[in-house]
Amino acid sequence: MSRYKAVVIGASAGGFELLVNLLEALPASFPLPVLVVIHTASSGNTLSQALAKAASLSVVEGVDKQTIQQGRIVVAPGGYHMLVEDEGYISLCVGERVCHSRPSIDVLFESAADVYGDKLIGVILSGANRDGANGMKYLCDQGGLPVVQDPATAVSPVMPKAVLKQCDVEHIVKPEEIPELLVQLAQ
């Protein structure tokens, strides 16, 4: 049984296609919940519907007080921060923007690290701002495992580079290597 209990993923500019490919490559048997924040102009269920077409796992848009379930992908809805609560459920809020973003990767990563501690895997993909760097640092400080897209492979390397400046990261990988790594870590 895996020591890990959840995966959080953050992406921004250049990250949508990578996220689609990553989720498409995860097997239907992937046992961990996957919580996702991506900065996008899409609203409503558009983003979660697009990801659901690619993924073999169930993909839903986050809803306030929704229970976090194994093997399910939860995508933060546009305009809301998505947080993980101690009782194992999602909460949504419209707090201030972080790095000009709501939903914020930092907010998700920090709240998930508070709940899961060293049983959390954090993944940062391509992005054009620093959102995610502080959240990943906090995740690392709580003993979580950081996984960062190699900035040399990113359409926009600002986000991965910002994380690498703040954290010691063992897994700096090409996007196509992330699904296999997650499957190995989830075993």
Q: Which one from 106, 111, 131, 156 is the annotated catalytic residue?
A: 131
C-alpha–C-alpha distance, residues 95 and 81, integer Å? 7
Q: Which one from 12, 104, 111, 126 is the annotated catalytic residue?
A: 12
| Known catalytic residue at 81 | no
Q: Which one from 2, 39, 58, 156 is the annotated catalytic residue?
A: 39
| Known catalytic residue at 39 | yes
Residue 94 makes CB contacts below 8 A (sequence gap 6+) with: 79, 80, 81, 102
Among 34, 36, 29, 42, residue whose Cα is nearest residue 7: 34
| Known catalytic residue at 171 | no
Among 50, 39, 46, residue whose Cα is nearest residue 98: 39
- By annotation, the residues acting in catalysis are 12, 39, 131
